[in-house]
A and B are shown apart, each in its own frame.
Chain A
Amino acid sequence: MTKMQRLREIIAGLLMLLCAALIMLDPEDGYITVTVILSVSLLVFGVRWLVYYLTMARHMVNGRWSFYTAAFLIDLGIFTGSLTDVPRAYVMIYLIAVNGFSALVSLLRVREIRSLGSSRWRFVLAQGITGVIMTIACIVFYRSISTVTLVFGIGLAYSACVRIAQALRRTAIVYIPS
């Protein structure tokens, strides 16, 4: 990773941390922020798909599907942005499904990774347990708007931390000169 790329990743991570903090500090109003973030994210994804289609996918066999995906995401982004109130139940079901599934997969992997002799199983177990806690929190506080925003905020903060950590990692590999 070049210095510029590292800087870009760190800035993106810090911005994500800022958003996560804003959401978690004021969960009630944070709900609108979540909707805006979702809308902007979909638009950004849509535009990225469009750029991907123009620069790469149109040269590929069956590449037109990338164009359809771009059009769909941009449309969805605009639609999400136009909503003033997304039914809370949908967001909560989404969060329960995502966290629950991810936790289940992590826990199932622990045994296999451990049997292979890797020390990485502890990290995966921790991920699984965190996922279970998040899922239980979502189910118990199903009606609470604060929980939705809090869980979303924690997820955002986690992604931000991982991004910053990746940017600070040593990237060169050691090899024996020929």
Chain B
Amino acid sequence: MRGDFHYYATYCAALLAGYSSRESCDICYAAQLPDFATVTFLDRLHAPRAAATTQSPIELADVRTDRLGLQDITRIWSSFHFLPYDLTADPGKGGKTYRRKYQLICKPNGELLRHTVELARGRGLEATGLAMHVLADTWAHQNFAGTPSLVINNTTAYFYELIGPRENPERRRIEFHRNPAGGDDLDLSSYVNSVYQPSESSIMNLGHGRAGHLPDYSFARYVYLPAWANYDEVVKDNPSDYWHAFTQMVYAMRCLRTGEPFELNRYATDEVAEVRELAWDILTKRRLDASDDWCALGEQLSGEKVEPFDLELHQQEYCEAEGQAKNDTYLGRFIRAALAQKGMVTSRIYDSGSRLAGFSIDHEPRNLGTLVAFLKRACQKEGAHD
């Protein structure tokens, strides 16, 4: 998903969930920020690196794909962009390592999503926005895992875009190329994807890299063969998935606002009825960026101007705050929410018996180094920065 959905569509969803325009702005900002909070970004703010929610291409190019590097990548991408659906899933084939990677495949309405939304409860609008990013990505990024893995994330040349009427679409062969400067050409169904790398843990096999940005475009409908699916053709219907994501976001935010418990497979169909036609038009229109239309819908709903996403917006406030006061700034609360989310997902993966995401500090209390670090932080206030 891109800024059009994470920022503007989340703004619309927050309004429909009953938040004010001001609150909705704070929520959608935090929903967009996980795509920018890299280690480089955090370094610039002197913020804790452990709170990184993404990795830039340049960071990924530098990262070592040894065990530690892979665990770091898995913590980031599984926690914020490819939330695992079922950590107990049994593929019925392959060894233990294969099974562990298979269990990280992202799909909507997994148990971890419920934990994600509940974790955001009472932690402020920043945590709500962050949870909405994770929720939305479970729809867009489904069928891929947030860990570099050829056997899970690879795809073949068998890729066809479904164009035209939903009942009887035309199948058009998708051509992939590896020149980022060339960009995506919708008229020719020509898209950029990552280079095929036969190495299991190559960074090129992280997430949906092999499928390019197709999962990120709301209009895209296509069929392909995921590496793990036994040559079964999978149909990816993005307009439908994005619509589900939108209605589930409204429902989740309503739950967080009113205190109602969040349940899986529930959608706020009533609240979104008034915008259904408009939103569906936005979702199905073929273009690379739908920001303008989502922004217009948001402004129509709130009657107020929506400022575009500005990465610099809250940085000064964070940098000028001293010590523990940083925790009370917008970015401070976002960082706390990111640490909580990452810790929760890492712990769940660890509890499932997998070591692919490493382990959290409370799982190794007898180790002297981590014990000292743990005690040091325990003496500080909750959420003290690393």
A interface vs B, CB < 8 Å? Answer: 1-2, 5, 52, 55-57, 59-63, 65-66, 69, 109, 112-113, 116-120, 124, 162-163, 166, 169-178
Interface core residue of B44, B50, B151, B367 (most chain A CB under 10 Å): B151
Q: Return chain B residues, CB-CB under 8 Å to A177.
A: 343, 362, 382
Q: Return chain A residues, CB-CB under 8 Å to B383.
A: 176
Q: Return chain A residues, CB-CB under 8 Å to B342.
A: 173, 175
CA distance A172 to B71 in the complex (A): 10
Q: Return chain A residues, CB-CB under 8 Å to B61.
A: 109
Q: Return chain A residues, CB-CB under 8 Å to B373.
A: 170, 172, 174
CB proximity to A under 8 Å, residues B327-386 = 336, 339-340, 342-344, 346-347, 355, 358-364, 367, 369-370, 373, 377, 382-383, 386
CA distance A172 to B362 in the complex (A): 8
Does B186 sit at the interface, judged by CB under 8 A?
no
**CB within 8 A of B358: which of A116, A117, A173, A174?**
A173
Residue of A nearest to B347 (CB): A175
Q: Return chain A residues, CB-CB under 8 Å to B91.
A: 59
Interface size on B, residues (CB 8 A): 62
Known: A57-B151, A61-B227. 9 other contacts (CB 8 A): A59-B228, A61-B156, A61-B228, A117-B44, A171-B68, A171-B71, A175-B340, A175-B342, A176-B339
Whether the pair B198, A61 counts as a contact (CB closer than 8 A) is: no
Q: Main SS of chain A's interface residues?
A: loop
Residue of B nearest to A112 (CB): B58
Q: Return chain B residues, CB-CB under 8 Å to A52.
A: 200
CA distance A66 to B334 in the complex (A): 43
Does B75 sit at the interface, judged by CB under 8 A?
yes
**CB within 8 A of B151: which of A59, A69, A112?**
A59
Q: Return chain B residues, CB-CB under 8 Å to A109.
A: 58, 61-62
